[in-house]
């Protein structure tokens, strides 16, 4: 029984076989960055439990199979940078994914692209009076203004709530309440990663290894990233203290440019953090891909995303957070190419807005190599990037 097929960047060529209907338990199909051609087989729409399909960076042609819209469990689809043509269907996954999933296919038209199909343009221009179009435009402007006002009010409310609850922060040695982050058992994490199989490793650091897996969250099976701490890398009290500090930080952090934490595990000798899976990987991996280099506009957008995440950590989070280990490996990108800062396990909390914390070499946070000179003596906002 096959659950996962990952053959990305293997120089495969020829058409995709139409025998996928036989793999009724297939969850993940990744054939990206190959030399595949021909049409996408409609048989993919007959795999009932598949959740992840990545066919990007190939030479696929023809139209998108409408059958993909009927896959109820499919949460990720990427067919960017092929030679696909025709209208993008509606319904199911086609209503969920962003335009980035279809980029690099000049022949595609319809939602979510701004450009409509040719027949739609002719039909609308013939049927829609000028007055109606003006009314629609005015309505859209009003709707955008309402959304902006609501966002500002929501931000102000959350900030006031954080100010009100600052004095109620629990002691560092207490467990995180279930209402804040979901607590998984060690058995659930082992089942989700096939016993922490090496085939599911997506990254590693000094004291942790990150796996991808499938966990049930609110009744829905979804792909997640599981950061497993290596308890043998340091003494028990030290790693437990670091783990609890990270969980407390992550439980309060909510921002579109920071990787979202879904839960944790402190059970059966396992210490792990469950996070959202960023499908495109880290910035280092993307920069190393020579066949599709990032445009300068895309690089600027990534830099802006990272800056917004750091502004939240430094100036909007209470208490403020210093990352201390910002590097390309800790900048992750999703299918929409929005960058998110990750790995707050080595974060240091500032007790006030303008204070800086003296630390010793033995308490040094971050990956050794280059370090900001001031970081060896004092820790502040200015030492985030190493």
Residues 321, 296 contacting (CB under 8 angstroms):
no
The first and second tokens of residue 260, run together, are 């979202």
Distance, CA of 159 to chain centre: 25
Torsion sign over Cα 187, 192, 195, 200: negative
Q: How many CB atoms lie within 10 A of CB 195?
A: 10
Alpha helices in 166-204 (DSSP H): 186-192
Q: Which of 18, 14, 55, 11 is nearest to 37 (CA)?
A: 14
Does residue 325 have an active-site annotation? yes
The first and second tokens of residue 324, run together, are 């201390």
Distance CA 155, CA 158 (A): 5
**Is the peptide bond prior to 112 cis by the omega test (within 30 degrees of 0)?**
yes
Distance CA 376, CA 105 (A): 50
Distance CA 35, CA 58 (A): 5
Angstrom CA distances, 350 to 259, 311, 325, stand at: 21, 14, 16
Residues 323, 310 contacting (CB under 8 angstroms):
yes
Catalytic residue selected from 325, 336, 343, 363? 325
Query: Helix (H, G, I), strand (E, B), or coil: what is residue 349?
Result: strand
Residue whose tokens read 């696929």: 60
Residues 294, 337 contacting (CB under 8 angstroms):
no
Distance CA 257, CA 338 (A): 7
Query: Helix (H, G, I), strand (E, B), or coil: what is residue 368?
Result: coil
The first and second tokens of residue 222, run together, are 């979804």
Which residues are part of the catalytic machinery? 325
């Amino acid at each position: 029984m096959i659950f996962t097929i990952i053959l990305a960047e293997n120089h495969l060529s020829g058409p995709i076989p139409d025998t996928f209907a036989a793999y009724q338990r297939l969850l993940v199909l990744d054939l990206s960055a190959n030399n595949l051609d021909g049409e996408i087989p409609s048989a993919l729409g007959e795999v009932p439990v598949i959740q992840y399909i990545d066919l990007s960076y190939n030479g696929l042609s023809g139209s998108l199979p409408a059958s993909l819209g009927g896959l109820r469990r499919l949460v990720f689809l990427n067919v960017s940078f092929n030679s696909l043509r025709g209208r993008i269907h509606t319904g199911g996954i086609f209503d969920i994914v962003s335009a980035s999933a279809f980029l690099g296919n000049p022949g595609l038209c319809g939602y979510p692209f701004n450009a409509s199909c040719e027949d739609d343009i002719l039909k609308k221009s013939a049927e829609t009076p000028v007055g109606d179009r003006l009314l629609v435009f005015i309505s859209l402007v009003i709707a955008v203004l309402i959304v902006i006002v609501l966002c500002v009010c929501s931000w102000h409310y959350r900030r006031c709530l954080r100010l009100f609850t600052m004095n109620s922060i629990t002691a560092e040695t207490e467990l995180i309440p279930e209402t804040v982050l979901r607590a998984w058992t060690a058995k659930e994490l082992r089942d989700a990663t096939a016993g922490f199989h090496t085939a599911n490793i997506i990254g590693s650091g000094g004291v942790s290894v990150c796996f991808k897996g499938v966990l049930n969250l609110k009744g829905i099976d979804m792909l997640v990233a599981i950061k497993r701490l290596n308890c043998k890398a340091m003494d028990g009290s030290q790693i437990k203290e670091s783990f609890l500090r990270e969980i407390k930080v992550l439980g309060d952090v909510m921002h579109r440019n920071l990787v979202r934490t879904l839960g944790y595990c402190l059970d059966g000798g396992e210490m792990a953090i469950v996070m959202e899976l960023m499908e495109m990987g880290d910035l280092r991996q993307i920069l190393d891909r020579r066949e599709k280099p990032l445009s300068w506009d895309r690089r600027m957008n990534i830099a802006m995303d990272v800056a917004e995440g750091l502004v939240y950590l430094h100036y909007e989070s209470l208490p403020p957070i210093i990352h201390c280990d910002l590097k390309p490996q800790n900048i992750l990108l999703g299918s929409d190419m929005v960058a998110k800062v990750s790995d707050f396990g080595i974060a240091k909390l500032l007790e006030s807005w303008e204070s800086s914390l003296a630390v010793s070499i033995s308490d040094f946070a971050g990956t050794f190599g280059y370090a900001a000179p001031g970081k060896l003596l004092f820790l502040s906002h200015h030492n985030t990037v190493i």
